[in-house]
A and B are shown apart, each in its own frame.
Chain A
Amino acid sequence: MRVAFGEGLIEIGGENEDLVVLTADVAKPTHVIGFGERFPHRFLNVGIAEQDMVDVAAGLALSEKVPVAVAFAPFMMRAWEQVRSTISRCSLNVKLVGTHAGLSASDEGASHQSLEDVALMRVLPNMTVVVPGDREEVKEATRAIVESRGPAYMRIGRDEDARFLEEGFRLGRAAVLRDGSDVVVFSNGYLTSEVLKAAEGAPVDAMVVHVPTVKPLDAGAVVSAARRAGAVICVEEHSVIGGLGSAVSELLSAECPVYVRRMGVGDTFGESGTYRELLEKHRLTAPHIREAMVKAAGRRGKR
């Protein structure tokens, strides 16, 4: 994921003279170092200072540059108030990218895992929030947020490198990856690949909808899928509070009140372990998702 992101930035940087990349002493692990080597005059490493980085980006945007500020997702949250008071309040054209998101910093433990970033960014007016999961999609999403006007936050994982999309990324659009009529699963990030595995061979007919743009949510696609299936599961590598599951629930509670099961990390912090062990512990692997599909299908049409 990080590699694809770094490659994508170089591609876009070659076409867009106004693109400036900033980072906070994580040029190597976030893979923006390639951009820095290629375009040194459009690359700023401000040192271990996320708050400074975010506001330097704001200043660049106020002078018509298109800054992309990149840090580990958990430490981007350190600059949340700067993002709120300066960037989102005035809808500045700043792109924020958090890497090592979700549980993907795995062995580094709770301090380095970010399970709250989608909630924190989603609550901000003017902010676009994107959680791609497919390797090619990361590149396309990077391009899409750079080309769109206004503030955006994209979170990507560390190592997982899935390929599950046939069609390209479109900002604000959900993609139906598998049709089904007993239950629909909305998911994003790497976990969509687990959901697809779960749907194959499940004893119920599950629809799978990948929702890489959490904000603005593709309301039309979400409501129509929920209507068709009659029962909903949301799967994400984030706290069950405030992320995709919350966004879907908020929408459906008004537009199509059906059973919604939110799968993610419960109201708790992470811990050290391998990525697979952590997914397993939080019941975010295909077998657990398949089990949830069966249960949810049983709740179909019941309130």
Chain B
Amino acid sequence: MSSTVELADLKHATDVQKVKERIRNVQRMLVEMTSSMGVHLGSSLSCLEIIATLYFLKMRHTPHRPQWKERDRFILSKGHAAPVLYAVLAEAGYFPKEELRTLKRIDSRLQGHPDLKTPGVDAPSGSLGQGISIGIGMAVAAKMRGSRSRVYVLAGDGECDEGQVWESLMTAAHLRLGNLVLIIDRNGWQLDDRTEEVKRKVPLRSKLESFGWETYSINGHDVEKIVEVLDAAERAEQPVAIIAHTKKGKGISFLEDSNKGHKLKLSEEEYLAAIKELEMKAKCA
């Protein structure tokens, strides 16, 4: 009995290790993309571990068959973090990594904000506040089909200013959608300033709880914790909200927890510094 548990633990540890390796690949891809085009690097890095854990470990999906009906769905409601979604999809095998170079270029399948043109993108976004509603439609459709398909929505904390977010929070709780998970990337920044300066969000957790969601609060950069909470979410009978505390620009020290990386193109010097830092960290891992 105990050896079975140990084996399972070992497998889990190996899986997590693999996710971490792939996260480093994706970080590198993001820095490469930001060296040639202005992108939302900071808000991409804040939710990297979450998206990577979903695609590389948690979700049931088939990159060779993106339209598989029984797949789990992912909606990037904070569409400006599109670069990290694209890099994760490329790393997962939805399209060649070289294609990342075409990001935001004319005629590219990789639009500035998510679009159905991109293999693996389950929902369009870019205009904030809509992802939870779209996720409700998908979760309802899955229930109607009797499918065990699950729906994950990633929203920004700034995005919670949108009224539609709260409309949809009420709807999902009313429908008791236990197959719907909302993750809020709580990086504390929005376009103009710190979130609490622009419009107060706290107490976010009790707001979500009072709307009828089973709510968790975690460190959004800790892969083990992300897996643990997503496992717990599978046992829920109501929608689950996860407040993932994160740092904008995580992993690149000159961007961390600042609004510099909201949208930027790295200079040659910054690019080299970022790559050097990532390589150092990879060696220490």
Contact = CB atoms under 8 A, between A and B. Distances in A.
Interface of A: 20, 41-42, 44, 46-47, 49, 51-65, 67, 81-82, 85-86, 89-90
A65 B144 contact: yes
17 contacts: A20-B140, A46-B171, A47-B170, A51-B167, A52-B167, A52-B168, A55-B136, A55-B164, A55-B168, A56-B136, A59-B134, A59-B135, A62-B122, A63-B142, A64-B141, A85-B126, A85-B127
B232 interface: no
Nearest to A24: B167
Interface in B181-218: none
A164 to B, nearest CB: 38
B127 A63 contact: no
Contacts of A54: 133
Given A42-B144, A85-B126, A90-B124, A55 B170 contact: no
Contacts of A67: 137
A59 B133 contact: yes
Nearest to A79: B164
Contacts of A47: 167, 170-171, 174
B138 interface: yes
In the A-B complex, the 9 residue pairs with the smallest Cβ-Cβ separation, listed nearest first, are A59-B137, A55-B133, A63-B141, A52-B167, A49-B167, A85-B127, A59-B134, A60-B137, A56-B137
Contacts, number: 103
B161 interface: no
A56 B124 contact: no
B69 interface: yes
Contacts of B129: 51
B133 A51 contact: yes
B124 A55 contact: no
B134 A62 contact: yes
B115 interface: yes
A234 B176 CA distance: 50
A81 B171 contact: no
B170 A62 contact: no
A62 B139 CA distance: 11
Contacts of A62: 122-123, 134, 137-138
Nearest to A60: B137
A160 B164 CA distance: 34
Contact of A59 (B115, B123, B167, B175): B123
B238 interface: no
Contacts of A44: 140, 175
A73 B127 CA distance: 23
A26 to B, nearest CB: 15
Most A Cβ at <10 Å: residue of B116, B125, B145, B171: B171
Contacts of A61: 137
B46 interface: no
A86 B69 CA distance: 20
Contact of B130 (A49, A63, A86): A86
Given A44-B175, A82-B164, A85-B130, 6 more contacts: A46-B171, A52-B133, A59-B135, A59-B139, A62-B122, A90-B124
Contacts of B137: 55-63, 65, 67
A64 B122 CA distance: 12
A58 B136 CA distance: 10
A271 to B, nearest CB: 29
Given A49-B171, A52-B168, A58-B134, A85 B141 contact: no
Contacts of B73: 63
A59 B127 contact: no
B144 A64 contact: no
A20 B127 CA distance: 25
A60 B136 CA distance: 8
Contacts of B124: 85-86, 89-90
B167 A63 contact: no
A41 B164 contact: no
A85 to B, nearest CB: 4
A56 B131 CA distance: 9
A82 B77 CA distance: 13
Interface in B142-184: 142, 144-145, 163-164, 167-168, 170-171, 174-175
Contacts of B145: 63
A85 B162 CA distance: 15
A82 B174 CA distance: 22
Given A81-B127, A85-B126, A90-B124, A59 B171 contact: no
Contact of B136 (A51, A59, A65): A59
Contacts of A57: 137
A90 B115 CA distance: 7
Nearest to B128: A85
Nearest to A22: B137
Contact of A56 (B123, B142, B171): B171
> Which of B123, B142, B174 has the most A CB atoms < 10 Å from its CB?
B123
A14 to B, nearest CB: 17
A42 to B, nearest CB: 7
Contacts of B116: 90
Contact of B141 (A51, A60, A90): A60
B182 to A, nearest CB: 14
A46 B166 CA distance: 12
B48 to A, nearest CB: 25
A58 B124 CA distance: 10
Given A55-B164, A55-B168, A59-B140, A64 B69 contact: yes
